[in-house]
Amino acid sequence: MPTVGILGAGAMGSGIAQVAISAGWSARLIDVSTETMDKAIEDIGKRLDRNVEKERMSAEDAASARQRLYASSINDLADCDVFIEAIVEDIDIKVSAILPLLEILPDEAIIASNTSSLSVSELGERIGAPERTCGMHFFNPAPIMKLVEVVRAKQTEQAILDRAVSIATSWGKKVARCADTPGFIVNRVARPYYLEAFRCLEDGLADPVAIDTAMKTIGGFRMGPFELTDFIGHDVNTATTRSVWEQWGRPDRLMPSQTQERLVSDGHLGRKTSCGVYDWSGDSPIAILRPSQDGAPHTNELIQLADRFCQAATDNADIPSKLNAAQQLSFLRILAAVLNEAAWAVEDGVAEKLDIDVAMKAGVNYPHGPFEWREAIGSDLVDEALVILSKTAENDRFVPPA
Ligand SMILES: NC(=O)c1ccc[n+]([C@@H]2O[C@H](COP(=O)([O-])OP(=O)(O)OC[C@H]3O[C@@H](n4cnc5c(N)ncnc54)[C@H](O)[C@@H]3O)[C@@H](O)[C@H]2O)c1
């Protein structure tokens, strides 16, 4: 029976264990806290029961999955095909937790990290097993989110990566292969979706409801950028932005938003504090952040460009004309910024176009991958948009790779 060892039974480790046992694997779960372990096993049981109630799995399959889940100690890892660490996001703690396990794990076992922001290459080198260390970056909640980014560290052997890809695929996941770079694919390419929306607000272009509505109705995004950042939490979202921006050498494109960082310092973290861009305390959210009074440039050239871009980008040709020029312009700026970030990610060697498309659809539910969207809009129109937006922007953020 194929077996995975999982270190850390928190949000991610317990979710990954559920994914593995639901796909017929055995999972050995380990945590320093017995309380966390007990809770993880109880929660996995409840989630399996819910899956049975909702007819997503049979009662027999749920019962046998439960029997393949073991609360374990490190001495039980000798039969593992793959080991995944999902403990605190601290490289020193990860290294000292993994080192003693290497004595017990089989020599051929894959060593995978679920880290979101640390260097997988550094981890592999520091534990002295760089050729068999890779990233397997699941998204939260792991049983629901379809994507796994399989991360190639500097020295990871191809055979290890191929096995990690086939394991994640056999667990029902969509896989995007990527290099060991800050933010991998999703946490990098998604940044402009949030950042450019805040810039539209800071430029006085439109209010949060208008911008969220534009992204949902023209683009088919499930949530607008302000609803989404309120949902994620501005503390979490700005920390990821800052980390990715710093690690990529502070490019203009990824520069944190002062408005969003002010929300964090004011304690307006989003839904979890009932207040962020929106006030969530009532029956329906009310936008409390207002656009600046500056008024963004609305040249005829920009308005006509936005109209053409929205018509080309939408799946529903009726919709753009029902939205005003400021909404169309917001949509143009935000989507063009995302498409440009995807192009930069390819340029920087993060991943292939196809993997980026898979990652953005399966990891953050984008209706289309950035490169599919670029093709649907027309490369010439996207290039023209970036040239015109570059002329009006006060920095280099719309400049495409050469
Ligand atoms: N939460 C997310 O949205 C998310 C998404 C993707 C990746 N990640 C990454 O996954 C990892 C885990 O995140 P999480 O949200 O599950 O954290 P968590 O705090 O929910 O769980 C971490 C668990 O690790 C345990 N632990 C800590 N040190 C340990 C040790 N030495 N040995 C055994 N267990 C130990 C803790 O007791 C805790 O139960 C981090 O690297 C994080 O960056 C998190």
Got the DSSP string for 307-349? HHHHHHH-S-TTSGGGS-HHHHHHHHHHHHHHHHHHHHHHHTT
Instruction: Name the residue of 12, 83, 235, 237 to mutate for ligand 1: max ligand atoms within 8 A of Cβ.
Output: 12
Asked if residue 43 lies in contact with residue 18, where contact means CB atoms within 8 angstroms, the answer is no
Quote the pTM value.
0.95
Range list for CATH 3.40.50.720 in the chain: 3-180
* CA distance readout (Å), 368 to 52, 189, 222: 31, 13, 12
Cα distance between residue 44 and residue 32, in whole Å: 18
pLDDT of residue 295: 64
pLDDT of residue 306: 95
pLDDT of residue 296: 60
pLDDT of residue 341: 98
137 is catalytic: yes
Residues whose beta carbon lies within 6 Å of some atom of ligand 1: 7-13, 30-33, 36, 86-89, 93, 97, 114-116, 138-140
Instruction: Give pLDDT < 50 ranges for the chain.
Output: none
Domain 187-392 class, CATH top level: mainly alpha
Percent of the chain whose pLDDT exceeds 90: 94
51 is catalytic: no
Range list for CATH 1.10.1040.50 in the chain: 187-392
- Which CATH entry fits the domain spanning 3-180: 3.10.290.20, 3.40.50.720, 3.40.50.150, 3.20.20.80? 3.40.50.720
* Nearest CA residue ID for atom 27, ligand 1: 87
- Ligand 1 atom closest to residue 115's alpha carbon, by position in its atom list: 41
The C-alpha R_g of the chain, in whole angstroms, comes to 22
121 is catalytic: no
pLDDT of residue 225: 98
DSSP at 293: S
